[in-house]
Structure 1
Amino acid sequence: MEPEKNIPENYQHIMPYLVIPNADKFIAFMKTVFGATEQYKAMRDENTIMHAELSIKGSTIMFAGCTDTFTQQNAGMFIYVDNCDETYHKALDNGAESIIPPANQSYGRSAGVKDPFGNTWWVTNVL
């Protein structure tokens, strides 16, 4: 019988991995808008993040800064938040662009923004 394999603590089976410009500023954006906490950061040099990890309520996002070898790779993400309207406005106040303003949908109050790093966020109230 094979031994049981475990995923390291604080990690999930699937996690987004982004390669983004201004990755250092992404950390500040995520902390301010979504209440993220920094789990890990390794630098390629003094200006470029080689690998970093943020946690939002138990979910991990991994990312790195763009280089000539590792070009920009964005994602569209869905996130449950306590207050869709508040989070939407925090995102806009921190450089995001509106895709869809907050509105009541059949699945809850929801909005869409594109962050300054090229990622799309579908923000929905926790039911």
Structure 2
Amino acid sequence: MEGVNVPQGYQQVMPYLILNDANGFLKFVTEVFGAKEKMLMHRDDKTIMHGEVFIGDSVIMFAQATSEYPAGPGAFFIYVPDADKSFKDALDRGGKEVQKVADKDYGRSGGVTDPFGNTWWVTSVKQ
């Protein structure tokens, strides 16, 4: 799509997750994928109204679920330096195995569901 004005530091398409535990999600992606906090806005009750993290140069937006905006799972394909390590780190932090890490045509890849219901396909490119 041509002519779209996208603010610097953002992409034209970004995932936006509504979560039952936005604070837990922030901790998980920070510990497993090295996410860096970009923005956090809180409601009066201290829950996350809007959050943004960088993983590499990609932005994920997220918020705490409310009755108006219920939680729902997402799925991600993410390139990491070491798929085996990221997979293990995710399992160590409450993730559930979807598919063991194995060699594929495109690299080493496996799937894990985080404690918040989102599936992450962690992949390392073959050198």
Give TM-score, length-normalised by structure 2. Answer: 0.93
1:58-116 alpha-carbon deviations (Å, 9 max, x no partner): 10000000111110122111000000000000000111101011101111100100000
For residue 6 of structure 1, give the secondary structure of its aligned residue in structure 2: coil
Equivalent residue pairs, number: 124
2:105 counterpart residue number: 106
1:115 aligns with 2:114: yes
1:20 aligns with 2:19: yes
For residue 70 of structure 1, give the secondary structure of its aligned residue in structure 2: coil
- Measured after TM superposition, the shift of residue 45 of structure 1 is 2.6
Q: Which moved more, 1:59-68 or 1:46-55?
A: 46-55
For residue 43 of structure 2, give the secondary structure of its aligned residue in structure 1: strand
1:27-82 alpha-carbon deviations (Å, 9 max, x no partner): 11001000100000001133411000000111000000011111012211100000
2:7 counterpart residue number: 8
Give TM-score, length-normalised by structure 1. Answer: 0.93
Matches within 5 A, 1:53-72: 53-72=52-71
- Measured after TM superposition, the shift of residue 21 of structure 1 is 0.9
For residue 45 of structure 1, give the secondary structure of its aligned residue in structure 2: coil
For residue 12 of structure 1, give the secondary structure of its aligned residue in structure 2: coil
Structure 2 Cα separation of the partners of residues 83 and 24 of structure 1 = 25
Structure 2 Cα separation of the partners of residues 121 and 83 of structure 1 = 14
Structure 2 Cα separation of the partners of residues 119 and 112 of structure 1 = 10
Structure 2 unaligned segments of length 5 or more: list them: none
Does the 8 Å contact 2:87/2:122 carry over to 1? yes
Structure 2 Cα separation of the partners of residues 41 and 51 of structure 1 = 6
Provide the alpha-carbon RMSD of the alignment.
Answer: 1.2
Structure 2 Cα separation of the partners of residues 116 and 74 of structure 1 = 10
Structure 2 Cα separation of the partners of residues 103 and 31 of structure 1 = 24
Structure 1 unaligned segments of length 5 or more: list them: none
